[in-house]
A and B are shown apart, each in its own frame.
Chain A
Amino acid sequence: MDNVKTIYKKSEGLSDFNLSYCPGCTHGIIHKLVAETLVELDVLDRSIGISSVGCSALNYDFFSCDMVQAAHGRAPAVATGIKRVKPNTIIFTYQGDGDLASIGIAEAIHAAHRSENITIVFVNNAIYGMTGGQMAPTTLIGQKTTTSQGGRDAHIHGLPLRISEMMATIPGATYIERVSVHNPQHVQKAKKALKKAFTIQKENKGFTLIEFISTCPVNWGLTPKDAIDWAVENMIPYYPLGVYKDKTVGEES
C-alpha cells in the first residue's frame, strides 16, 4: 500500500456528524467550501460560526469550530456581540433567505452599516425550506410555494428582493459577491469568493457577504438535477452572479 496516497478527504473544518439536508440540496457543497476555506486560511482554530434558523439551524454540529446557535434573523447581531469582545476571532454567520432577507434584514443591513469585521454566508434558494416551502422575499415571480399557491404575484407579494445589490449600496460594506454552485467551475469560483471574503476579515478590512444561489429540490417539487437546471434558467437571470462591491480594488495585494 506504499503507493497509495490521499488525494482528497473531508475537510478538517467539518465534524463527523451526518448532514441533515435533503438529497440534492447544495447546502452540503457550501458547507464544504466554508470549511475548506477556514482550513486553508489557517483560521479554523480561532473561528466561531453562527447558525441561524432554517434548514441550516443544526449546522452547529457540522462545523468543527466553536459554534453559536442564533435566534431567527439575529445571527449578524450575535456575530457583532462576539467580534467586539473577541476581535482576534474569525466570525461567520450562515443564513438562509428567510432568515436574512426577511426577519433578519435589519440585523444584516446594520452589521454592514457598522462595517462589522464579519463574513455572512447567505444561501438563497428562493423559498423557506425547513418550515415546508413557504414564500420568501426572494421567491421568483410566478413561483408556486405553500403560501403563494397560485404563483408569486408582484401586485400581491411585491417583487423579489435582490440582497447583494441592496447590500452593495451600504457604505460600510467592504465586499459583496453573488456566486452559484451549480457546476464544478462555479464551485471553484464560489470558493475563491469565500477565500476573498475571509481574507478581508482576517486583514480586519470589514464587512463581507457572499450570496450563494442554491436549490430546494423537495419544496420546488423537482429532482436534484432539474432543480439545478431550474436555478440556472430562472434564478441566475434574476439574480446575476458577480462582484457587487469591492472596496479593496486598487489596494496592493
Chain B
Amino acid sequence: MAKVLMKGNEAMALAAIYAGCEAFYGYPITPQNELPEYLSKHMALHGKAFVQSESEVAAINMVYGAAGAGARVMTSSSSPGIALKQEGITYIAGAELPAVIINVMRGGPGLGGIQPSQGDYKQITRGGGNGDYYLYSLAPESLQEAVDLIKESFDIADYFRNPVMIAVDGLIGQMMEPVDFDREVPKWDLLPKTWAADGNPQGREKNIINSLYLDPLVLEQHNLKLKAKYDEMRKNHQRYELINMKDADIVIVAYGSVARIARTAVEMLTEKGVKCGILKPITIFPYPDQAFAELPDSVRNLLVVEMSTGQMLDDVKIANEGKLPIHFYGRVGGVVPEAEEIVQAVLKIVGGENNG
C-alpha cells in the first residue's frame, strides 16, 4: 500500500485495527479525541466492539474484562485520564492480562493544559498504580514509528501477558504525516489464551481472572513471578536508537517528539562542526541502559532534553553510572523546544570551541 496522509490520532487508531484489535473502550479527552472518534466508526465497520464509557475508570475496567475474556483490546487517553485509569491498569497487570494503552500526553499537573508534554514519564515508567508492577512502554518519535509499534504492541502484550503503554505526546497525536500501514513488524511467538475466562469451557477447568491473593506467601510468589517478567524485559527487550554516534563529542538523550527535534538540532550542529549524537530510548520501560554502555569513548558530555522538568534524569543517572557529566534542557507547560534552542544548549556545554 502506498503511504497515506493521516493525522496522528487517526493513524494510531487504524494501526490498532491492523493489529487485530477486537475492542476499544475510551472516554473523551483532548488531545486524543480523534482516536476514539475514528474508531467509533471504523471498529463497527470491522464488526468490532466500541464503547464510549462513562469515565476513564469504567473504560479501563471494560478493558480488564475484555482482556480477561481473551480479546485484543485497547484504550487511549491523555495524562489526567491515564491517572484515572491507573486503578484498572494495576488490576490488569496484577491479573497478568494483555492490553494496549495509548497515552497522548498533555501538560500538567492537575488539569494542566492541552498542549504537548512529556510530564507523565514517571506515571508511565514507575507502574503508576498501586503495587509492584511495570508496563512495557514504547515511545515513538514519528507517526510511522507509532503505527509500527502499535501494530507490534498487541503481540508484545500477549507475549508478556502484561499491559503495553504507547507513550506519545500531543504533537504526535495532532500532526499529519504520510504513513505506510503495510510495513512488516516483528511477529512474536504467541501461545493460545487457554487462561481466558471466555465462558467457553468445552471440557476444560473453569478459568478465574484475579489479582487477589490473601495468603502472603502466595502473593509473594506471584510478585516474584511478575518480577521475573520485568527482569526478562530489562535483560532482553530494551529498545533504543543510537544516531550520529561516530566520534560524537556530546550526546543528546531524548525520546519521542523531542528526539525528532534533536535530529534537526544535530544537523544544524554538524554544520557548525560540532559532533553531536542522539541516544533515543524507544522503550522507556525497560529503560535502555544497554545503550549507554555502547556510547563511543569520544563522548564527553550528555545532554538530556525533555518536555518536562527532568523526569527522565533519574534513569539517565542510573544508566550513566556516574561516568559522564549530565546536563539538562527542558521546556514545560506545553511548550515544545525548538531545534535552535537545543543547539544553543549544546553549544553552551561544548564551550563553542568548535563553533565555526
Contact = CB atoms under 8 A, between A and B. Distances in A.
Interface of A: 15, 45-48, 50, 57-58, 60-61, 64-71, 74, 77-82, 84-86, 88-91, 106-107, 109-110, 113-114
B73 A81 contact: yes
B207 A81 contact: no
Interface of B: 22-23, 25, 49, 51, 53-55, 57-59, 61-69, 71, 73, 87-88, 91, 95, 197-201, 206-212
Contacts of B57: 74, 77, 106-107
- A-B residue pairs, 6 tightest by C-beta: A81-B65, A81-B62, A89-B199, A78-B65, A77-B61, A66-B197
Given A66-B208, A77-B53, A82-B66, A71 B199 contact: no
21 contacts: A46-B200, A48-B197, A48-B198, A66-B197, A70-B64, A70-B65, A71-B64, A71-B87, A77-B59, A77-B61, A78-B61, A78-B62, A81-B64, A84-B23, A84-B49, A84-B62, A85-B73, A86-B199, A91-B199, A107-B54, A110-B58
B21 to A, nearest CB: 11
Contacts of B64: 68, 70-71, 74, 78, 81
Contacts of A60: 208, 210
Contacts of A88: 199
A58 to B, nearest CB: 8
Given A70-B64, A85-B66, A114 B51 contact: yes
B288 to A, nearest CB: 33
Contacts of B212: 57-58, 69
Nearest to A85: B71
Contacts of A74: 57-58, 61, 64, 87-88
Nearest to B201: A45
B252 to A, nearest CB: 41
Select the residue from A71, A86, A114 with max chain B CB neighbours within 10 A. Answer: A86
A67 to B, nearest CB: 5
Given A68-B208, A77-B62, A82-B69, A46 B199 contact: yes
Contacts of A48: 69, 197-199
Contact of A66 (B61, B95, B207): B207
B65 A66 contact: no
